[in-house]
Structures are given as C-alpha cells and as structure tokens.
Structure 1
Amino acid sequence: MTELLAHLVSWIGAHPHLAGMAVFCVAFAESMAVVGLLVPGAAMILAAGALIAAGALSFWPTMAWAAAGAILADGFSFWLGHHYREDIRSFRLLANHPHMLARGEEFFRHHGGKSVFIGRFVGPVRPVIPLVAGMLGMEPLQFVLYNVLSGLLWAPAYLLPGMAFGASLSLAGEVAGRLAMLIGGLVLGGWLVFAMARRMVRFGLRRFPAWEERLLRAVRSSPLLHRWLGGLLFRELSLLRPLLLFVGLFGACGWVFLRITGDVLHGEPLVLVDHYLYNLLQGLRTPWGDTLMTAVTMTGDAAVLVAVAAVACCWLLWRRAGYSARFLGITTGGGFLLVYTIKNVTRIPRPAELYQGVVQWAFPSSHATMAVVVYGFLALLCGRELEPGRRWLPGALAILLAAAIGFSRLYLGAHWFSDVAAGYALGMAWLILMAVSYFHRVPACRYHGLCRLVLATFFLVVLLHWSAGFERNRTMYQVRQSVTSMHFTRWLRDGWQEMPPARQDLEGEQEQFFNLQYAGSPSWLAQELARVGWRRPQPLTAASCLRWLAAAPDPLTLPVLPQVHAGRHETLLLVRPRPGSRTSFFALRLWPAGVELDDTPLYLGTVTRMEVRTYLGLVSLPRTGAVLPAAALEMPAAVGRQAVHRPDCREVLLLWQPEKGRGKGSVQGPAREPGSLPAGRARGRAGD
C-alpha cells in the first residue's frame, strides 16, 4: 500500500497538469446538468483532497481547477436552460424523469436567485438548479455572481474534508498501512452499505402496494389460481398474500442457508474461500483495529440483544401493545433457540478456541443471525410510528449495524465467512417469517416513543456492557502468536537468519529493515540504554496529542505513534535526540519475535531516524525516516552484542542480557572493530 501510494504521488508529481485537468473534468461532470446525478464527483474531489494531504497535489492549483470546472459546468447548464427554455422539457432524459425538473422549479421559486448559491451544496437539486434558473429567465449577471461565489466556496468545502481524511490516513499509515486500509475500507464500506440499505428499504416500502396489486390481478386472470387461492387472497387481511410476495426472498434465504450448510459439511470449495478470507483479514489486524472491532462485535453480544429486546417488550406491555410485545419476545427467543440448535447439531469448530459450551461451535454465527433478527424486528416496530417518508431510516440503520457486526466477527477471527453468510441467510428467513405473521393481524399503531426508547436503551446497555467486559473481550480476541524454542548458541551461530528480515505490514509488504535482535528483558535494556541518552517518549494520550498542534515544537516533547509488526504494537519504544537537529530524533522499537532462547524471549527491533513533518500547516507529526546502520548504534558495555551480516550485506546487531544468556554471560560478542567511529558521532552522520 505504501509503495502504491508512493508511485501515485511520484506520477502526479511528474504530470501535475494532467492531474489538474482530471480534477477539472471531475468537477465539470459533477456539476453538469443531470449528468452530475450519475457521477460520484463529490467523492472524487474528496479523494483529491486526500492526495493534497499526501503531498501529491498542491492546494491552490487543485482548488482553482475544481472551482473552474464547477463554475463552467453550471454556466453551460444555465446557457442550455436560457437558450431552449420550455423546450428543455422535451429532452429525452428530462422527459423520462419530469420530477427532477419539478423539484428544481419548486426549489428555485421558493428561494429565488439565491437558490443558485444554496443549490450548489444541496445534493438532490444541485445538477438541475442552473438549468432551471436559465429556463425560468434569471438575469445572467445575477446568475454569474451567485455561480462564481458558490463555486469558489464549493471547492474548498469538499477539498478540506478530504485533506483532513488524508491526513488521518497518514497518521494511520505511520502506525500501519493495514490500519489505514481498514479505516478507509470501513468508511467507504459503511457509506455504501447505508446508502444501499436506504435505497432498498425505501424501494420496498414504495413498491409493496403495487406488487400486491399485481399479485391480485394475476390471480383474478387465472381461473385455476382464483379457485384455489382467491378466497384467501381477497380477504381484507390475509396471511397468504404477503407470504406469497415474500416467498421469493424467503425461499432465496432458505436456499442460501441450506447450500452453505451443505458446502461446509461436505468440504466444498466454499471452505477454501473461508480460509482465504480468514488469512486476508488476519493480515489486516492491528491493536487499534482490534479495539474498534471488539467494541463493534460487543454490540451483537447476547447480553445486549436480550436486554434491548426485553426493555422494548416491557415498554410495549406498559403501553398495552401486548400483540407487538409477544411477537418481539417470540422472534427473539425463537431465533436464539434456532441458532443454538443448529450449532449443536453441526458442531463445526471456530478458527480459534474462544468460548465454552454450545457457543464454542461456529456455524452459523449467532452474532450475525441475531443482529438481523433482533435489530431487524425492532426496526419494523419503530418504523410503524414514523411518517411514511422516514420509515426507511430504522431499517437502514439495522442493516448497517448488522453488517458491521458480521464484519467484526470475520476481522477478529471468531468466525469463518460461511458462518456469517449462513447467519445472515438464516436470520433473514426467520425475520421474514415472523414479520409476515406479525403483520397478518397487527392492530393499528397506538404507541409513540419506541424509537427514542430503543436508541436510548441500546446506547446505555452498550456502554454498560463495554465498561463491564471490554478488556476481557479485547484480551480474548487479540492476535495469538505461536512461540517456538531455540537454543541461545544456535541463535548466535545462524538461527538469527531465520527471523523475519523486516517489519511486516500488509500481506507481502515489508517496511523497515530489522537491524536489531535482542534476547532479554525489555525493561532491563531500557535501564541500560538510559545511561547513553535513550528515554521513553511522551505517552500517547488525548492530552499529549495536543502537542502536535504546537508551533515549532521540540521533537522529543511530541508523542510518537506506535507501529505494527505481525498485528502487534512494539513492546518497547525509546527515543534519543539527534545532535544538531531540531526537527528530527532517533527511535528504537522492539517487537516480540515469537521465539524463546532457553526460556528467554527474543525481540526484533529497528533504530530509525524520525522526522517531524507538518500537515495542513497545523499538525506536527513525527514520521519514520531512514533505518540507521547497526554499526552506528551505541550500546552500554553491560549489554552483550555481536554484529552479523545477512546475505544482502545488511548488518544486524545481536544483543542480549548477559545473565539471561546461556552460561549467564559466558557468550560475549566481539569487541568494537578498530577504526570504527564513536557511537554518538557515527549516529549523527548516519542521520545526515
């Protein structure tokens, strides 16, 4: 990922005019009449802002290109409306979608000339307002004034959030490229899931009466179907009518669940997909990502689901909505019974042993199943009390939450992909069955306030659940590292070559070269290195992060972001000033190697130069620079050491705590080679 970004930045640096033209074309298409609804220009302009934060583009030229594209596109749209007037309605695209012009005309008549300025920032009417303004005879000079002002504000309004997001990805990238990828994927994936869920729910609510009417017409036109089903379908309230409408989706969910079950039980190719996705997501693990995903997965724990459903049931009973309360209880209890029964029958193991009892089995995922069932049914109940135009919102939020919970189970290695997919299919089938049964005889909605109650209860229960068990769950879900044994003398002889040569970030991507290997206690090494000027950096806290905003800060007063190797942060992080520099310093990091040398843990480490870089003119962040040669490192006399070379001639310094070594220090490293530079001066040269 880092290499791809570097290539992109270098290409843009070599072709700045092409990059500017690309920004111009995107802004032009995004603002063009009607076409702007089809072009994701806003997202592309945000991406341009992220490239500005990465240093690939300059702010002022990019803003000028974006503003010019938006202003010219709106000007062309205005000319079309001004030239064709009412004939514009006969254009094929507008004739097929007359509501687009109607919405723009209503907006323009309500706001007048300033609608050109306001409409620039209002998504649904943005691409048609200039067209409508010209069609309705707005004065060209007045349009130009509003158009230019809005274009000059629109460009930075979209670029600045992109720059902030790009800077945040730079912060995440300093920790790990996998963290930056995870954040970007979650933001993009969450937005796509919510947008798709919103469209699906609104489409279903809008089209359901038409589908029902088509079903009735089809039955009336067929004498055989009319004789068999007419008496049931033409009742005012019929269970069979909605059931037939949902039978396709219900059957599809049931078929998917049975197909996945068969593949899993018989070792079909889906199992290979399980292992591929498991290894892929485990390659994205970071401690901060684990913290986020643990928090998400706990929102799908049985304790949270049962508590939220129980409070909603009690409230419905208090409001004398016993019918709804009974169905909510049956849906929740039946869902748990169904999923735990299937788990006990299939007995498919998880990727890692996490639980005991019936929940130790993986298939299907109870988190995925019950998130769909409980949050989905609560969304149906909440939607009943809302206006028709807002009933999509609870359903979209439920889909987004269920999708996030399912992804968290995959990320944390608690389930295979087939477990989560089968859980979604099973949950949807059960939810459809219970929803159809519920709406068969549901009385009129006489309660109000369930939405607020469910949201308040959800947040309260989740906060209590986090406070009671977050650390326990984070420990349970943390990356498990296997430990192997090796003799100390073999490590000194040639075993050190079996260690990873560089820090592993994304799968197949290597970051800083490991120029240290250390056997012993990290705290002992920190004490010894303190004698030669090394110290621990400022702790990374919310308060200390404010130091990043200081003007011309002392580098050693800035908190240093952790870095990730094999899914873990460093065990030890030390810093030391760089002689003669006020914008850089040295950093030493150690990570567990997963190897024990005669019961002594082995660590892999780097010593790098840290450069303080400024982002957006506000944030001064230490970023990792070059790796220092091992020969330039100064070590106290008490630390055992030996310099070795890899086949590529890179030098690695082997360090050990003498009393921890084999024979309690009997193995001594070679003395300093004659003519080598003193450590402090050598370190200064290495950083130049």
Structure 2
Amino acid sequence: MDAWIDSLNLWLSLNPHWLGAAIFLAACLECLAVVGLLIPGTVLLFAVAVLAGGGALELWQVLLLGYAGGLLGDLLSYALGRRFHQNIRRLPGLRQHPEWLVTAELYFQRYGATSLLLGRYIGPLRPMLPMIAGMLDMPFLRFWLISMLAAAGWAVAYLLPGWATGAALRLRLPEGFWLSGGVIAAALGLLLALAVQLSLRRQRLATPLTAWACALCLTALLVGWPWLAAFDQGLLALVQSVRSVGLDHAMVLVTRLGDFSTQLYCGVLLCVLLALLRLWRALALAIGTLLGTALGNGLLKALFARVRPDVLLEPLSSYSFPSGHSSAAFAFFLCLGVLAGRGQPPRLRLTWLLLACIPATLIALSRVYLGVHWPSDVIAGALLAATLCGASLAALQWRAPMPALPARAWWLILPACLALLGGIATWELPAAFDLYRYQPAP
C-alpha cells in the first residue's frame, strides 16, 4: 500500500492539474461506507494536501474540494443504509466483518445524532455512521444539517495541516521553525489527549488536573516565547502568503466577534440572563471565567509588553502577548460549552466543548491572518482562558457536580447571545476594514 501511495504522489506531482480531482475523490472514499475502512484515507489526504500546498491549489480550494467530497461520501453512505436497511448486513465485506457494523450501530444508538459529530474524527466509525443513520431511518434533513457541520470541521482538521506543510516547504522559513513548531504541536497534542482521557474515564479530579495541565503549558509558553521567534515569524509569513481580498473581508467580520466591546456586552448579557434565571452556580462560573481571564490578560500584557507584528499600515497601540481576542473568545465559548455539557455523558461533554472551540479558534486564527498577533499570542490566550475556566469549574464542583441548565434557559441564552454577537460584529464594518489595512508582501 505504501508503494502505491508513493506512486500516486509521484504521478500527481507530474500532473498537478489532477490534484483537485484527487482531493475530492480521496475525501469521498475516506467517508464512504466500508471503503473508508479499507484504504489509508488519512495518509492519502495528507499526502495530496502537501502537494496542493506546494502552489498547485489555494487553501480555500483544497478545503472546498475536501468538504464537498466528504459530504458526497456521507450522502452515498446514508443512501446505501436507507436503501438496504437491515439487509445491509449481507453485503460483501460486512458479511466477513460484522463487527464493523455492530460497533458503529451501538455507538449511534447510544449517542444518537451527536455521534455523527464526534464519530467524524474516529477512523473506524467515520465511514460507517452515516450508513447506520440511513439504516435506522434518521430523518434526512437532520442528517444533512449535522453532516454539513461535521464535514466542515473535518475538512479543516484533515486537510489544513497537509496544505500548511506543503506551503511551508516552498517558503524560506527561519532556521529552527520546524523544531519549535513540532514542540508546540506535541505539547498541545499531549494536553488534548490528557484532557480527553481524564474526561472519558470519569475521573473526579479530571477538571482540576486539566486546569493544572493548561496552566503548566501556559507557564512554559510565558517563559519560552522569546525562543519561539522562528516559529512565530515563519507561521506568520506562511499565513500572510495566502491573503486575498475576499478572505480579508471574511476575517475582519470574524475578528469583530472577539473585539473587547463585543465580548464585554456578550459577557454582561450572559451574566444578567443567568442572574434573572437564578442559576447562581452557572453565574459564578461565568464571572470567574470571564472576569478572571480579562484580568489575567491585562496583567500579562502589561508584564511582557510584547510588540505586535509589523504588518498593519497603522499598528494598534496595545501590546500583543497574550491575545485579548483569543482569550476573551475562548473564555466566553468555553463557558457556554461547559454549561451545555453539564449532566451529559463524557462523550457528549467533549462534543459540546469541541463545538464551542470552533468559533473561538476561528477568532484566534483571524488575528494571525490579519497580522495583529503572533501565533504564540493566540495560543497563550487560549491556554489562559482554558486554565481559568477549568479552575472556576473545579472550585464550583469541589463538593457536588454542577447541575444541568434547564432547557428554557438555553432557549433564552443562545438566541440573545447570538443576536448580540451578530449585530455588534456587523456594525460599522467599513470602519473595521480601514482599521486592518495592511501592506501586501512583495
């Protein structure tokens, strides 16, 4: 199989005009029932994304092709299950390996529609769950909406690293970039694995241990950021090389969601609503996370006084480290994710946290894209928010677990916060575009 992949990569490198079709087809096959279990789709996707990052395709094209291919694979798998129902067990491949179907079926029956979100990132389950959804007559509209959301995150997670690697290989990056980048990636990967394992095992000390682990990583970053210049400069140069006018407008809109005024109004609104509903422990979590993160961010900015990247035509006045947008966004959305997961099984709690991190991550990435922050700034902001959110939750649950919020609370909190976020983000957009004017790289 390795020889076959090497041959395919060689052929695609000689025929780059077929790369788009290869990405679409590889994504489709990786998400197609049974077939996705038989081919090394993850390795193949990374390999073709590296080739595309070498200059053959832009990032948005790679992500769009992978997204469309993954959706097609989901749709075909769902149609297969809907067509054959229980007779699907007699199809070739599944007759010889009934455990493939049984494992996915048990997972779907236990977690329902949420399994399509979380199972998307679990190799043996990814190609089987859409077929199970069709076999068990899940309504098509619900399946399609969840699949569209899941495929978006999956395309970014599986194709962005490969494309970024290919793009980095063609740029003249500072010496030491790969070493420092590898250390940061390994540390964040270990932190994520530790948090997931502690949560899945229902360890009583899972929350405080995760908070301590985040604090340890944050401390290491605070001490070591002067030695991350190669990583920061290299990754910033890589991101600046893919800028375009259309993406600039989208990123300015996203970054507005993390502005101080936006996060302040949303934080106050959330606290007021929790107080009106008399959800005092949830209110304490929100205050501890949001206020603690804001104070911690201001203290660290004043302490380190790090200068921002020299990208904007009119540089912003405040200091860069850590990113206020990143810390505020992660604090707000992590707080919502934690509250949504109360009273849920471990996998559902992790799913809510994963969904909560998506908008916060986009806001953090927009700061690097716009050249306002160094990459280590936004990582530090995320770790700061995670530390204080975990510490606040651990303190509140020291004697008894926090109860789940009633459904009526979410029917009030979510629409109000989303409406406020959208309204403020789109207010005076032309002025925001002028604020983030930059000097294009030669």
Take 2:357 and 2:395, find their aligned partners in 1: how far apart are those partners? 21
Counterpart contact for 1:350–1:362, Cα < 8 Å: yes
Letter in 2 for 1:252: A
Deviations 1:1-52 (CA, angstroms, capped at 9, x unpaired):
xxx9994227999xxxxx8xx96998599443782697469989xx9xx99x
Deviations 1:596-651 (CA, angstroms, capped at 9, x unpaired):
xxxxxxxxxxxxxxxxxxxxxxxxxxxxxxxxxxxxxxxxxxxxxxxxxxxxxxxx
Letter in 1 for 2:249: T
Take 1:460 and 1:29, find their aligned partners in 2: how far apart are those partners? 34
Q: Higher strand fraction: Structure 1 or Structure 2?
A: 1
Q: Higher helix fraction: Structure 1 or Structure 2?
A: 2
Counterpart of 1:470 in structure 2 is 429
Matches within 5 A, 1:447-466: 447-466=406-425
| Change beyond 3 A, Cα 1:433–1:9 | same
Give, in angstroms, the shift of residue 347 of structure 1.
Answer: 0.6
Counterpart of 1:126 in structure 2 is 131
Give, in angstroms, the shift of residue 409 of structure 1.
Answer: 0.5
Counterpart contact for 1:372–1:431, Cα < 8 Å: no
Which one of 418, 421, 442 corresponds to residue 379 of structure 2? 421
TM-score, length basis structure 2: 0.61
Q: Percent identity?
A: 18
Which one of 167, 170, 188 corresponds to residue 155 of structure 2? 188
Counterpart of 2:103 in structure 1 is 99
Counterpart contact for 1:370–1:427, Cα < 8 Å: yes
Matches within 5 A, 1:205-244: 207-209=200-202, 211-212=203-204, 242=205
Take 2:88 and 2:336, find their aligned partners in 1: how far apart are those partners? 48
TM-score, length basis structure 1: 0.41
| Change beyond 3 A, Cα 1:37–1:287 | same
Counterpart contact for 1:30–1:40, Cα < 8 Å: no
| Change beyond 3 A, Cα 1:263–1:307 | same
Matched, 1:339 2:297: yes
Take 1:398 and 1:448, find their aligned partners in 2: how far apart are those partners? 18
Give, in angstroms, the shift of residue 294 of structure 1.
Answer: 0.7
| Change beyond 3 A, Cα 1:415–1:317 | same
Q: Any unmatched runs of 5+ in structure 2?
A: 1-11, 50-60, 66-72, 81-86, 111-125, 136-143, 145-150, 161-188
Counterpart contact for 1:190–1:400, Cα < 8 Å: no
Which one of 215, 220, 223 corresponds to residue 259 of structure 1? 220
Counterpart of 2:37 in structure 1 is 35
Counterpart contact for 2:30–2:36, Cα < 8 Å: no
Give, in angstroms, the shift of residue 344 of structure 1.
Answer: 0.8
Counterpart contact for 2:342–2:403, Cα < 8 Å: no
Matched, 1:479 2:438: yes
Which one of 9, 29, 46 corresponds to residue 17 of structure 2? 9
Counterpart of 2:122 in structure 1 is none
Counterpart contact for 2:339–2:405, Cα < 8 Å: no
| Change beyond 3 A, Cα 1:10–1:278 | closer
Aligned length in residues: 340
Counterpart contact for 1:313–1:325, Cα < 8 Å: yes
Counterpart contact for 1:33–1:127, Cα < 8 Å: no
Give, in angstroms, the shift of residue 311 of structure 1.
Answer: 1.6
Take 2:224 and 2:109, find their aligned partners in 1: how far apart are those partners? 56
| Change beyond 3 A, Cα 1:292–1:23 | closer
Matched, 1:372 2:372: no
| Change beyond 3 A, Cα 1:394–1:354 | farther
Letter in 1 for 2:16: L
Give, in angstroms, the shift of residue 122 of structure 1.
Answer: 8.5
Q: Any unmatched runs of 5+ in structure 1?
A: 14-18, 55-62, 107-120, 131-157, 159-183, 213-241, 482-565, 568-688
Letter in 1 for 2:91: F
Q: Rg: which structure is higher?
A: 1
Counterpart contact for 1:27–1:41, Cα < 8 Å: no
Give, in angstroms, the shift of residue 416 of structure 1.
Answer: 0.5
Take 2:107 and 2:272, find their aligned partners in 1: how far apart are those partners? 44
| Change beyond 3 A, Cα 1:420–1:81 | closer
Which one of 378, 382, 395 corresponds to residue 437 of structure 1? 395
Looking at both structures, which has the greater relative contact order when contacts are Cα pairs under 8 Å and sequence separation is at least 6?
2
Take 1:312 and 1:6, find their aligned partners in 2: how far apart are those partners? 55
Take 1:104 and 1:369, find their aligned partners in 2: how far apart are those partners? 35
Counterpart contact for 2:328–2:385, Cα < 8 Å: yes
Counterpart of 1:544 in structure 2 is none
SS at match of 1:363: coil
Give, in angstroms, the shift of residue 247 of structure 1.
Answer: 4.9
Give, in angstroms, the shift of residue 446 of structure 1.
Answer: 5.8
Give, in angstroms, the shift of residue 297 of structure 1.
Answer: 0.9
Counterpart of 2:4 in structure 1 is none
Counterpart contact for 1:347–1:363, Cα < 8 Å: yes
Take 1:24 and 1:455, find their aligned partners in 2: how far apart are those partners? 37
Deviations 1:311-344 (CA, angstroms, capped at 9, x unpaired):
2211221122223213312321121111001101
Take 2:319 and 2:353, find their aligned partners in 1: how far apart are those partners? 29
